[in-house]
Every structure is written in C-alpha cells, then in structure tokens.
Amino acid sequence: MNERTISFHGAAEAELNEAAGYYELESTGLGRAYLEDVGLAVDQISRFPEAAPLLLGRVRRKILLKFPYAVIYSLRETQIRILAIAHLKRRPYYWRVRR
C-alpha cells in the first residue's frame, strides 16, 4: 500500500487557525477541542482516504464529529491535499478554485 503525504492549502490552514481562535475566544479549551476534532478527521482520512464520499470530481468531504465543519480534500497519487476546512452552513463550493 502506497502511503500518501498530507499537505494543506494555505487558505485551508488559515481557515483552521481562524476557527480555532474563534472557538477559543468563545470558551477556553474549545479551540483545542476543535483542533482535536480536525486532527481526528485528518487521521481517519490518512488511514482510509477513499472512505469519505465524493463531493465534486476527485474531491471528498469528511464531516467533523463535534463541530459544524468538514475537511475538504483531494486524492492524488502520492498526496492528500486538504483544500478547505469548510463550515457546513456557509458558501458551499467556495473552495473549488483551490488546488
């Protein structure tokens, strides 16, 4: 089995940090819980990259367990590219231009 490396689009990394900061301001420790939820999703994606449903083309969506966000990613031969950490109730498909 060929293990893929994981990389984050710069905008996805910014979304992750922005949401974590927001949650931490709302309640101490909530930002950390958010980051742990994202980390769990990324770990599951790493272990089972084709388990999440296809969203658009080769792009897949893994919904977080505890927060209203999804990890949007594409599978490449040697890489998993995280395109967005998208809030489920805002601007669907805004990330389409990301590679």
Tokens read off for 52: 């999440």
The CATH number linked to 72 is: 3.30.2310.20
Q: Distance between CA atoms of 49 and 60, rounded to whole angstroms?
A: 9
pTM score, two decimals? Answer: 0.91
Domain of residue 76 covers: 5-89
pLDDT tens, position by position, 6-47: 999 999 999 999 999 999 999 999 999 999 999 999 999 999
Does residue 23 lie within any of the structural domains? Answer: yes
In a domain, 77, yes or no: yes
The 3 state secondary structure assigned to 18-85 is HHHHHHHHHCCCHHHHHHHHHHHHHHHHHHCCCCCCEEECCEEEEECCCCCEEEEEEECCCEEEEEEE
Tokens of 17: 């940090």
pLDDT band at 70 (very low <50, low <70, confident <90, very high): very high
Both tokens of residue 13?
């990394």
Give 72-86 pLDDT, tens digit per residue.
Answer: 999 988 999 999 999
Residue 49 placed within a domain: yes
